[in-house]
Amino acid sequence: MTKRKIVVALGGNAILSSDPSAQAQQEALIETAGHLVKLIKNGDDLIITHGNGPQVGNLLLQHLAADSEKNPAFPLDSLVAMTEGSIGFWLQQALQNALLKEGIDKEVASVVTQVVVDKNDPAFTNLTKPIGPFYTEEEAKAESERTGATFKEDAGRGWRKVVASPKPVAIKEIETIRTLIDAGQVVVAAGGGGIPVIKEDDGSLRGVEAVIDKDFASQRLAELVDADLFIVLTGVDYVFVNFNKPDQARLEKVSVAELEEYIKQEQFAPGSMLPKVEAAIAFVNNKPASKAVITSLENLGELIASESGTIIEKG
């Protein structure tokens, strides 16, 4: 059996259900680790990424609630780092315990990851990613005057702060991640899309107020570690076209060209399935000999046994 290098991008349901407590999230990750270990038992090298959207939103609320001159709220890049660290710790420990249970002698390391974005990315002038609490229009105007933040009306629910969502360009810790993989360790990296940083003219790095899409950051990581397989986990076993309609159909083996045609037909929901499909397409386009898979965490065993899930190939 050929050992594969696999990047697995965890969906939000792998960490957070309806209970946002630390205990509930740790319990969810214990179950998640039990599924991920199947890939390690199969002999594969594993790099795991994860989301942090709800967690960073909750942490932002906590910081805003306590914000004062003596206890100022932290900026967004620091909040991303804090949640990347806490979720990395939970997942690292859950995986270590799952490996121990299976009698597998393997180390797990989580890497707090800086993801470099282009300071000239148009996303910095077209802010689209809503974060944090809802405000009335009057509250949003007052907060904008106080902090300089940009607010937009969000689907009739109120006004929310919006930040940039730039594309990932490079991963600062990539050599560290490669070294850990080469040493046979399981690696957790680029959590929450990674900490967004820009490179200054002198080469130094600076954190910025932004949120990087976790699926695109995971895709970039998969390319940089030369992964054989990129697995994007979501809430369903397959990607569907005509979803929730009488003629809905699941996609099993599908080419990039077919997926691009479905995108033109607006088959995939923006902010949900669409970025997962786009990230899978980008990975396969840049590594034509490799595959991408979109499926559920619970279906990993079937994926190993029979390639169950939506398998994307160059075609």
Q: Among all residues, which ones are annotated catalytic?
A: 12-13, 129, 214, 276
Q: Give the CA dihedral 84, 86, 92, 93, nearest 10 degrees.
A: -170
Q: Residue 103: how many CB atoms within 10 A of its CB?
A: 7
Cα 267 from Cα 128, distance rounded (Å): 22
Rounded to the nearest 10 degrees, what angle do helices 76-102 and 53-65 cross at? 130
Q: Residue 160: how many CB atoms within 10 A of its CB?
A: 19
The string of DSSP codes covering 45-74 is EEEEE---HHHHHHHHHHHHHT--SSSPPP
- In terms of DSSP bridges, do strands 186-188 and 108-110 run parallel, antiparallel, or are they unpaired? parallel
What contacts 160, CB < 8 A, 6 or more positions away? 130, 131, 132, 133, 134, 135, 140, 151, 152, 154
Cα 114 from Cα 59, distance rounded (Å): 19
* Tokens 């994860």 sit on residue: 50
Secondary structure of residue 165 in the 3-state scheme: coil
**What residues does 254 pair with on adjacent strands?**
312
Whether the CB-CB separation of 161 and 153 falls below 8 Å is answered with no
**What residues does 171 pair with on adjacent strands?**
115
